[in-house]
Amino acid sequence: MSFRLRVTLLVAAAIALTVSAASIAVWVTARHELVSQVDSNLKREEPHGPFVLAVTSEGEIQGGLAGIVPVTSSLRKLARSGGEAYYANVTIQGQHVREYARAVQGGAILTIAPLDATDRALRRIKFWAFLISGLGIAAGAALAAVVAGAALRPVRRLTAAAETVAATGDLTERVEASSSDELGRLATRFNAMLAALEESVGRQRRLVADASHELRTPLTAARTNVDLVREGKLPDEEVRHALDEASVELDSLTSLVSDLVELARGEERKLRLEDVALDDLVSSAVERAKARAPEATFVMSLTPVHVHVDPVLVERAVGNLLDNAVKYSPPGAPIEVAVREGEVVVTDHGPGIAEEDLPRIFDRFYRAATARAKPGAGLGLAIVREAAEAHGGQATAESSASGAKFRLTLPATA
């Protein structure tokens, strides 16, 4: 059973119950009013009515109707002992009548009025009530179907869009969201979800395409050197040189794969947050950078500050900034490293960053024209930006005639 049909049936059932209850209420009210009119006439015409009978204290009816009008226990008790007057419906020789009895001295007075006209009126009211109720329920069911169709039209559009995406994989599909109600907000969220999914899939595809391109170079170079060695035609010195080049290419490949894994984790990364002394973390990163590049000169200005971060991820980002500075610093030029108020600033005195490269310097696989002769695949700074954004911070770059300055900003704890 479709959702639309269920809604239609539920609305139709609600209308049916409402109409039925209203019809019953009308019939009960009409019956009460008609019977009340009969009772009023009985009481008002009692002294002069044609069917006014005397009942003795022994409970016997005097007159020609004796033996025809039933003497009930209530009437006999009223005539003998007195009490409150009462109304009752009885049948006399197949005729439905209304009787009114009250106690008098030495017996009771019984007044009778036929209910033929009242019963006919009630039957007509019942007929019209049933007829109108049936027509109302049928009209209500038809209206429920129309209302359900109109109300669920946005849901059908959402369903059609979801089925189209599932069948074709086209993430550019969107749903019109023209209202601000719950369904309109659902359509807006659905569109936002599709947009986010489209962007995520696009990033993945670009990552795979760029990665395949970047992986091809070190793999080809390493394979070429290994094939030359396997041929056994090279002198020993060239064999060592080929193996050294293959080792360098494999190291580059290992680093590239590690960076790709880090970037591929993206938003799925689960941060292991800790309160960390940022100055100590940066100091440790600088020591490791010195070990990798003994010729580099680092000048540190570290202000004690604590941050609530994933230490492994932040240390990786700081290490990338330091490696980047080492790569572009001229021999003997100092690399300035500063920590203050949750911010890590790394300044080099290299050639700086071209103005056209600044907006894309943190993009994946982006390498400026001056950087293409340097080792690397353009992933280090991308990891820096993702580490910053994962912690609610940001990564920025500035350039001047004296070099480049990179800032990694993290939310400091109190």
**Nearby residues of 105 by Cβ (< 8 Å), 6 or more positions away:** none
- Of 377, 346, 380, 345, nearest in space to 362 by CA: 380
Q: Which of 49-53, 97-101, 243-247, 279-283 has the lowest average pLDDT?
A: 49-53
Q: Which is higher by pLDDT, 152 or 103?
A: 103
Q: At what angle do helices 236-265 and 380-390 cross, to 10 degrees?
A: 20
Cα 313 from Cα 276, distance rounded (Å): 12
What's the pLDDT at 195? 81
Instruction: Tell me which residue of 254, 260, 261, 264 sits closest to 219, measured CA to CA.
Output: 254
Residue 280's pLDDT is 92
Residue type, 296: A
Distances (CA, A) of 65 to 53, 69, 71, 153, 387: 8, 6, 11, 73, 108
Query: For the chain, percent helix, then strand, then coil, each to nearest 5?
Result: 55, 20, 25
pLDDT range class, residue 413, cuts 50, 70, 90: low
Sign of the torsion formed by the C-alpha atoms of 65, 69, 70 and 74: negative
**Is the pLDDT reported for residue 414 higher than 60?**
no
Higher pLDDT, 370 or 223: 223
Q: For position 336, what pLDDT does the model report?
A: 92
Yes or no: say if 245 and 227 are a contact pair by the CB < 8 Å rule: no
Cα separation, 304 vs 355, in Å, equals: 34
Predicted structure pTM score = 0.48
What average pLDDT does the structure give for the chain? 80
Closest CA to 260 of 312, 326, 213, 220: 213
Would you state the pLDDT for residue 377?
A: 57
- Which helix (H) or strand (E) segment holds residue 34: the answer is helix 3-44
Q: Are residues 333 and 349 in contact, defined by beta-carbon separation less than 8 angstroms?
A: yes
Predicted pLDDT at 60: 78
Site of tokens 């359509």:
187
Q: Tell the burial category of 60 from Cβ atoms under 10 Å away from its Cβ (0-12, 13-18, 19+).
A: middle
Distances 289 to 7, 155, 241, 312, 332 between C-alpha atoms, Å:
67, 58, 27, 15, 15
CB-CB contact of 15 with 137 (8 Å): yes
The dihedral built from the CA positions of residue 210, 211, 213 and 214, taken in this order, carries a sign that is positive
User: Which H helix or E strand runs over 110?
Assistant: strand 107-114
Q: Give the tokens for residue 313.
A: 């991820």
Per-residue confidence band for 264, with pLDDT thresholds at 50, 70 and 90: low
Alpha helices (H) along 103-181: 116-151, 153-168
Candidate from 205-219, 285-299, 319-333, 377-391 with smallest mean pLDDT: 205-219
**pLDDT: which is higher, 37 or 256:** 37
CA distance 339 to 128: 89
Q: What percent of the chain has pLDDT over 90?
A: 7
Angle between helices 380-390 and 311-328 (to 10 degrees): 150
pLDDT reported for residue 344 = 92
Closest to 87 measured CA to CA, from 65, 62, 118: 118
Whose structure tokens read 């993430």?
Answer: 171
- Does position 309 have pLDDT exceeding 80, yes or no? yes
Q: Give pLDDT tens digits for 362-396.
A: 877 666 655 545 555 567 788 888 888 888 889 99
Segment 108-137, tens digit of pLDDT: 888 888 888 888 988 898 888 888 888 888
pLDDT of 346 over the 90 cut: yes
Contact 314, 391 (CB under 8 A): yes
Percent of the chain predicted with pLDDT > 70: 83
Amino acid, res. 9: L
Pairing of strands 334-340, 297-302: parallel
* Higher local confidence (pLDDT), 200 or 39: 39
For the segment 177-202, the average pLDDT, to the nearest whole number, is 75
The confidence band for 255, taking pLDDT boundaries of 50, 70 and 90, is low
Q: What is the largest CA-CA distance in the chain?
A: 151
Cα pseudo-dihedral 268, 273, 278, 283, rounded to 10: -70
Spatial distance between the Cα atoms of 59 and 72, rounded to a whole number of angstroms: 9
Whether residue 387 contacts residue 316, with contact meaning beta carbons closer than 8 Å, is answered with yes
Rg for the chain (alpha carbons), in Å? Answer: 48
Residue 347: pLDDT band by 50, 70, 90 thresholds?
very high
Query: HSE of 151 in the Cβ direction (CA atoms, 13 Å)?
Result: 13
Q: Is 171 helix (H, G, I), strand (E, B) or coil?
A: coil
Residue 404 main-chain phi, psi, to 5 deg: -120, 150
More confident residue, 364 or 406: 406
The mean pLDDT of 76-104, rounded to a whole number, is 86
